[in-house]
Amino acid sequence: MISASLILYGFFSIEFVVILLLSCLVNFGISKAIGDLPEGKSGLIHKFGIILNIALLGYFKYTGFFVSNIFSVMGKEIPELNIIMPVGISFYVFSQIAFITDIKREKENKIKDAEKLGNISFTEYLFYITYFPKIVQGPIALPYEIITQVRDRNRRILKAENFRNGIELFVIGLSKKVLLGDNLAKIADYGFKYTYYMDTLTGSLVLISYAFQLYFDFSGYCDMAEGVSLMLGIELPRNFNSPYKAISVRNLWQRWHMTLTRFFVRYVYIPLGGSRKGNLRTAVNVLTIFILSGFWHGAGWTYICWGLIMGIVVVWDDLGIMAVKGDVKNHYLLREKPLLIIPQKLGQILTFIMFLISLIFFRSKDMTYALQYFKQLVIPTWPGFMYKTSAMLDISENYLVITAANMYAKQYTNIIYLISWIILLVISVIVIRAKNAHEIISEKNNSGRHLVFLVFIFLWSFISLSQVSTFIYFQF
């Protein structure tokens, strides 16, 4: 399995494999030193390991950002660095930080018995880091979640139910990615590229299209990764749980990229003091992890701004001024009970709107474009750019209808593209509001109709693979 994972990863670049293996050797050596050395020295080694991992990630991912900003402030020409970031480095660096930190906590008896690892072999560690369904895009599994399964011989026996559920998860994920996410990407890419030409309505629909694209792209990958793992007898931690059904922004981040949120809470928020050092410190800690999360997603001020917006909204949720029915905590930062409780449906709408607004920064190529996008939405305009944007849906599904329209009624071609865009958005809403993949497979539906539907969407997705795009989270 390790060899297969490295071979698959090697398709990106052999140099990436070398960097990965060297980092694994160094981190495994650090973990052994932490376990063998006395308390004072092991703590020093642990800190060295954290700094080393952050330096590795920082060099490949953030050197260009810092250099460009420094040279810009100095008023000098920005040099061309040509540093290529290894695919998945953000994910496997965080996994390595989790590993050496948990080894230290286990030594200090600060970890649950169920999470203890004992004596780890290099083969087990290498499997945990390089396991191919998770290395390039997560989830960021904790060490015990993978290693304890590797040690379980029963998991090496092929089970029909796991294989069936795995295939079903994979097919559902593939269809979300290929049939919905990739088609919406054509709209989103075009809209954000021509921000300055967007009118208010088109810009709004482009933003919603991007939100849906991001959803289906990441949700699809998570389903596919979990599906492949189930077929191999490995259960990956849940990483995506219908976040657009969230009733608050805090609730959204309990559902979206759940393992990244867990990583920041476990290894950053709690060590900073969590909620134990007063209300102000709690708010600062929340803002800190969201700013770090934004910076983790990308080396740019737009990502930092996105993280800051999300952090501010989560702090607002925690203040207790307004809460959503069903999302009421025992204690808020400013009061014991919320001042105002709103219905869940309204909470879902407000949460989605806030997330949409933040995505303007997340997707725009720089702050200038992001602010311009805000301007296009706030100041009503109608230059008629909607037809040009919808024409990006020149996809195989439209071929016969568009060909007929061009031959016999060319004046309706643009309307057909626009209708296709609207239909795609409506289908997206229906899928998002429906049961998610895990809820579907939990029903154990063995009907012929269900099987035919799965075969149909698989074949449709397979035929459409020629126009598939890379996963969004590959760039992170």
> Domain check: are 266 and 203 in the same one?
yes
Q: pLDDT tens digits, residue range 55-99?
A: 999 999 999 888 888 887 787 777 777 888 999 999 999 999 999
Average pLDDT over residues 125-133: 93
Q: Please determine, for residue 53, whether its predicted confidence score (pLDDT) is greater than 90.
A: yes
> Domain check: are 58 and 97 in the same one?
yes
Quote the CA–CA distance of 399 and 418 in Å, as a whole number: 14
Average pLDDT over residues 167-194: 94
Q: pLDDT tens digits, residue range 271-302?
A: 999 888 888 999 999 999 999 999 999 989 99
pTM for the full predicted model: 0.92
Q: Please determine, for residue 476, whether its predicted confidence score (pLDDT) is greater than 70.
A: no
Q: pLDDT tens digits, residue range 143-162?
A: 999 999 988 888 878 888 88
Average pLDDT over residues 332-354: 88
> Domain check: are 195 and 264 in the same one?
yes
Quote the CA–CA distance of 345 and 333 in Å, as a whole number: 24
Residue 124 lies in a domain: yes
Residue 383 lies in a domain: no
> Domain check: are 214 and 246 in the same one?
yes
Question: Six-digit token pair at 460?
Answer: 């449709």
> Domain check: are 174 and 237 in the same one?
yes
- Domain of 69 in residue numbering reads as 2-151
Residue 418 lies in a domain: no
> Domain check: are 217 and 245 in the same one?
yes
Quote the CA–CA distance of 217 and 202 in Å, as a whole number: 22
State the pLDDT at residue 231.
Answer: 93
Q: Please determine, for residue 360, whether its predicted confidence score (pLDDT) is greater than 60.
A: yes
pLDDT band, residue 137 (cuts 50/70/90): confident
Task: Say which range, 30-34, 36-40, 56-60, 438-442, has the weakest mean pLDDT.
Answer: 36-40
> Domain check: are 344 and 208 in the same one?
yes
Q: What contacts 24+ positions apart, CB below 8 Å, involve 303-307?
A: 303/361, 303/362, 305/361, 305/367, 305/370, 306/358, 306/359, 306/361, 306/362
Instruction: State the total domains in the chain.
Output: 2
Task: Say which range, 199-203, 266-270, 459-463, has the weakest mean pLDDT.
Answer: 459-463
Q: pLDDT tens digits, residue range 400-424?
A: 777 776 677 777 788 888 999 999 9
